Structure 1
Amino acid sequence: MRTKKVLLNLLSNVLLQIVSAAINFILPRLFMTTYGSASNGLISSIKQFLSYLKIVEAGVGSASIAALYKPLSLGDKDQINGILSATNHFYRRSGIIFTVLVAILAIFYPFVVGDEVNPRTAFYMVLILGISGMWEYFFIGKYLVLLTADQKNYVIFRIQTILLIASTLLSLMLIMLGFSIIVVIASSSVLLLLDILFLRRYVKKKYSYFNIKVEPNTRATKAKWDALIHQIASLVVFNTPFILITLFLGLAEVSVFTVYSLVFNAVTLFVSAFSGAMLAAFGDILVKEDRDGLQKYFQHFEYVFFAVVAFCYTCTAILFLPFITIYTMGVEDVDYIRPWLATLFVMVGVANTIRIPSNTLVNAAGHFRETKNRAIIEAVINLVTSIIFVQFFGIEGVLIGALCSYAYRTWDLILYTSKEILKQSALVTVKKITRNTILAFSAATPFIFFMELPITGVGSWLVAAICVSLWTIAIVLLGNFIFEPKMMRDILVHVKRAISND
């Protein structure tokens, strides 16, 4: 049953990421060609500022999900409702604070961007993009927490996929009809708010005991303050680039960073789909204190995960710049073709994703307090080095700062989870990373050093992408099978068993 839920979550999340990636490539291109690079940069910049305001969530979501694993496993309905009642209480309080902060940001943000865009456009855009955050705090947060903890993320993913497609079709229609960017973003954002109808109906049908009017169990979510530290640190690490580029380099450079980020965010989200599918499963194993089962599942998870990382980033390294060349064709208000920037993005992407398995396990175990100081150190390293290097190297300097912090935190997470949670040597993980790194270089070498792909347009790029993908997946799969054939067979048996029990 656990494996079946993991597969459902994984497949639904992968579909969502594929749809999101396709949409994230289509809309920014249209924004750049229709409204200009500054407008595209404006949207990305505002989203990052709003992400900082979400610290008012105070770690409630992560703490509540971790607290729900045990009562869901035991079927303790009173405890479940008590935790969800507390979650709803904290979310509503956070929502009020978030709304006030969005209003303040809307007033002052136009002064940050100066004359690059119309101040009124900047003002309204902050309010429009802030609606989704308010919506989550006031209406849907409790449902997302419950379904995530109960390994039913696939319900959330399916709803988001349908609404995302509908929202994008509406945006395309409005752009073709010549509406302003404010009308386009506002209309599509409102359509996405329909998720409340589907989530509420599903929860009421599947969880007949659901009741958030009971006495809140605030003690169960006491870890929220430690989770908040992690949340703040993550915001600094992952959102600092956009903020610094906005402040020091301007919205046109934000647009460059956004276009590059589109590709790597798509890759990261695709890879992260595997960790999201496993989060609640690990939580279920941990509350049952199944140490052998935990080690076994985690080793299987790492085996698949690092192979996927090797495949994705090898293909990305080879195909990335040709894609950017085609994608930005006709956009001449800023230079988008920057090989050194592309190289740094690949390095940062790999450094970030290889720590995802360990980070997933820390979250599943609820080890927020134990690791908060380490998260703070990473945030400080990232912020200080990024501020220094952006002065000398521009966008590239921000990525160098990210590499400095990832070099510390990725290794730290691997050591911590190996010693404190898995009770095994970190070499088990290091060997998998090393093996897949060698396989990735082996697959990339012919294309980087000996062969130039004949890419001249979309068609030739797609043909090249298929060829590179088939070559890379063959090398990665064969290499992993040669070194650990038994583990691959075990994974295939688990998958086959889960499908046959459908």
Structure 2
Amino acid sequence: MRVRNSIINISAGIGSQVIITILSFVSRTMFITYLGVEYLGVNGLFTNVLGMLSLAEAGIGSAIIYNLYKPVADNDEERINVLMKFYKKAYMVIALIVLLLGLALLPFLGYIAKDAKVENIHVIYIIFLLNTASSYLFSYKSSFLNVCQKGYIVTGVYSISSIVSTCIKLGILYFTHSYILYLIIDIVITITTAAGLAVMVDKMYPFLKNKTASKLDDETKSNIVKNVKALILHNIGGYAVFGTDNMLIAFFVSVKAVGLYSNYYMLINICRTFINQVFDNMNHSVGNLVAKESDDKIYSVFKVTMFCNFWIYSFFTISLYVLMEPFITLWIGSKFIMDTSVLIILIINFYVSGMRRSISMVKTTSGIFHEDRYAPFLEATVNLGISIILVQYMGITGVFIGTLISTLAVPFWIAPYLVYKKVFHQPVRNYFLKYAYYAAIGIGTCLITSFVCSLISYGGFLQLIVRVVVCLIIPNILYTLIFYKTDEFKYLFGIVKKIIGMLIGKLGINKKITF
């Protein structure tokens, strides 16, 4: 059932993401055409600034979700209700805190966006702020659906919402060229979608509306408080590493440079979002697994998820390296191309941070938050220190080198150590040997794919399509030849057969497929 739920959730997520991705390219193209790179820079900068305010969430959601896995697996409605009521109250407070902190930053906007040549920048910031604060009002309901392994419903609702929102915003850009109206639509759609989803959850699980006099027991409260304290440190450290790039670039380079980088970030984030459809939906199945199964069973599933993690992230890393610059050149022009060193560091960061997904999944769903609570601060200190020094000499590339060094210095080794020690009860060297093996194969595959693509002339749409085909064929064929005898490959191949079987069943085809 866990595998089937994951397949449904992943399929729904990927299907909807294809449509959203196409619309996002159209939207970004029109955004650049009608508003320009300065507005693009402000958009990226305020997204980072308000990401900092979201630290007020402090990991409360993750801590409560971890406590929901077991009662959901046991169908304990009373305990679920108690946790959900607490979750709701916590998020109401968080929304208020985010709003107040955001308003407190208003007087400092001139320093944050010091060279931005954008009208009504304070109004734009306030709209961003309201959108961020309102996103917390009903999020506890969608989180519950995810824990119940029904993330495909959340995906479906938000996908429809995103499609409608993008279409309306495209119309606004075309007919009015108004960035403020463009942003207002986001608030209206955010609140409407979240409220509609909350109503849907209440209809699916009527017991959530029941009043309960029960309160959280002291042990659960203590556990949540302990984990939230640890997650506060994790979130602050994580933001300092990954959420400050745009602010550092804006301060030390320019807001315009943020706009140029945002195109690279958009393409990388599209890839990351596709991958997240796989891992986010697997995450709650792993949480259910951790709540019910033995350590050996969890470890055997982890080995499969790590293999899947490598295959997917290395494939997208290779594709980004080979295709990003020709795609941007064809899409919006060569003037939006940055130095090749920026591309190389960005995709290395993408791979290194992405390869943490499988180990982080087990760590989070096992409730390991407290043990490494100070690690993010060390990572953040290394990142900010190195980034600020290197940006003086290397420009924007130095910012991303700082991120890479800090990642390798701290979380790269500490998360595997804790999971292998506390969950798998095995030596962590097994993880690093496998990681190095996968990395060597990935690098070799990247070199071969890049060499073949270098034989294709750097030109128009047809040449880009040929490169896409090369990226689709070479890595996947090489990986199949290398891994086809492994247990992990056989397990994933079995899942692929199930997916094909489900699709054939949906299409009403009864022929038996043999492989």
Matches within 5 A, 1:75-114: 75-114=75-114
AA matched with 1:199: L
For 1:291 and 1:253, the matched residues in 2 are separated by 48
The answer as to 2:159 corresponding to 1:161 is yes
CA contact (8 A) 1:8 1:154 kept: yes
SS of residue paired to 1:425: coil
Q: Which moved more, 1:6-15 or 1:255-264?
A: 6-15
Summarize the Cα distance change of 1:352–1:176 in structure 2 as closer, same or farther, 3 Å threshold.
same
The aligned counterpart of 1:481 is 484
CA contact (8 A) 1:3 1:495 kept: no
CA contact (8 A) 2:391 2:399 kept: yes
CA contact (8 A) 2:236 2:376 kept: no
- The C-alpha deviation readout for 1:378-430, integer Å capped at 9, x for no partner, is 22211221122112211101111011111121222223222222222334433
CA contact (8 A) 2:59 2:228 kept: yes
The answer as to 2:420 corresponding to 1:437 is no
CA contact (8 A) 1:302 1:432 kept: no
Summarize the Cα distance change of 1:7–1:224 in structure 2 as closer, same or farther, 3 Å threshold.
same
CA shift at 1:500, angstroms?
Answer: 5.9
CA shift at 1:260, angstroms?
Answer: 1.3
1:448 to 447, 450, 463: 450
The alignment-based identity, stated in percent, is 22
For 2:328 and 2:61, the matched residues in 1 are separated by 36
AA matched with 2:156: R
- The C-alpha deviation readout for 1:454-473, integer Å capped at 9, x for no partner, is 24223431232123212222
For 1:370 and 1:447, the matched residues in 2 are separated by 41
For 1:487 and 1:35, the matched residues in 2 are separated by 48
User: Which runs of 5 or more residues in structure 1 are unaligned?
Assistant: none
The aligned counterpart of 1:142 is 140
The answer as to 2:337 corresponding to 1:336 is yes
- The C-alpha deviation readout for 1:433-473, integer Å capped at 9, x for no partner, is 33433333333324534633224223431232123212222
Summarize the Cα distance change of 1:343–1:374 in structure 2 as closer, same or farther, 3 Å threshold.
same
User: Which runs of 5 or more residues in structure 2 are unaligned?
Assistant: 506-515
The answer as to 2:371 corresponding to 1:370 is yes
The aligned counterpart of 1:69 is 69
For 2:385 and 2:69, the matched residues in 1 are separated by 37
Q: Which moved more, 1:311-320 or 1:443-452?
A: 443-452
Q: Which moved more, 1:63-72 or 1:227-236?
A: 227-236
Summarize the Cα distance change of 1:63–1:471 in structure 2 as closer, same or farther, 3 Å threshold.
same
The aligned counterpart of 1:58 is 58
The answer as to 2:258 corresponding to 1:254 is yes
For 1:282 and 1:494, the matched residues in 2 are separated by 16
CA contact (8 A) 2:95 2:136 kept: yes
CA shift at 1:13, angstroms?
Answer: 2.7
Runs of 4+ in 1 over 4 A off after TM superposition: 494-502
The answer as to 2:404 corresponding to 1:403 is yes
Q: Which moved more, 1:470-479 or 1:444-453?
A: 444-453
CA contact (8 A) 1:85 1:213 kept: no
1:318 to 317, 322, 328: 322
For 1:391 and 1:24, the matched residues in 2 are separated by 34
- The C-alpha deviation readout for 1:243-297, integer Å capped at 9, x for no partner, is 1112222210111221111122222222233321222222222222521221121
CA shift at 1:345, angstroms?
Answer: 0.9
CA shift at 1:369, angstroms?
Answer: 0.5
CA contact (8 A) 2:6 2:281 kept: yes
CA contact (8 A) 1:233 1:379 kept: yes
- CA RMSD of superposed structures (Å): 2.3
For 2:450 and 2:491, the matched residues in 1 are separated by 35
AA matched with 1:258: S
The aligned counterpart of 1:238 is 242
For 2:20 and 2:242, the matched residues in 1 are separated by 19
For 1:428 and 1:477, the matched residues in 2 are separated by 22
The aligned counterpart of 2:272 is 268
For 2:21 and 2:152, the matched residues in 1 are separated by 18
CA shift at 1:66, angstroms?
Answer: 0.3
Summarize the Cα distance change of 1:275–1:429 in structure 2 as closer, same or farther, 3 Å threshold.
farther
The aligned counterpart of 2:25 is 25
For 1:178 and 1:452, the matched residues in 2 are separated by 45
The answer as to 2:303 corresponding to 1:296 is no
Aligned length: 495
CA shift at 1:49, angstroms?
Answer: 0.2
- The C-alpha deviation readout for 1:7-51, integer Å capped at 9, x for no partner, is 122222323443444344333332222212111000010011000
SS of residue paired to 1:343: helix
- The C-alpha deviation readout for 1:116-137, integer Å capped at 9, x for no partner, is 22352x1122122223322222
CA shift at 1:353, angstroms?
Answer: 0.7
CA contact (8 A) 2:449 2:475 kept: no
AA matched with 2:353: N
The aligned counterpart of 1:388 is 389
The answer as to 2:48 corresponding to 1:48 is yes
CA contact (8 A) 2:323 2:468 kept: yes
The aligned counterpart of 1:129 is 128
CA shift at 1:493, angstroms?
Answer: 3.0
AA matched with 2:193: D
Summarize the Cα distance change of 1:407–1:36 in structure 2 as closer, same or farther, 3 Å threshold.
same
The aligned counterpart of 2:116 is 116
The aligned counterpart of 2:194 is 196
CA contact (8 A) 1:65 1:148 kept: no
For 2:152 and 2:37, the matched residues in 1 are separated by 35
CA shift at 1:114, angstroms?
Answer: 3.1
SS of residue paired to 1:118: coil
The aligned counterpart of 1:174 is 172
For 1:312 and 1:360, the matched residues in 2 are separated by 20
Summarize the Cα distance change of 1:115–1:313 in structure 2 as closer, same or farther, 3 Å threshold.
closer
| TM-score of the two chains, using structure 1 as the length reference | 0.92
AA matched with 1:201: V
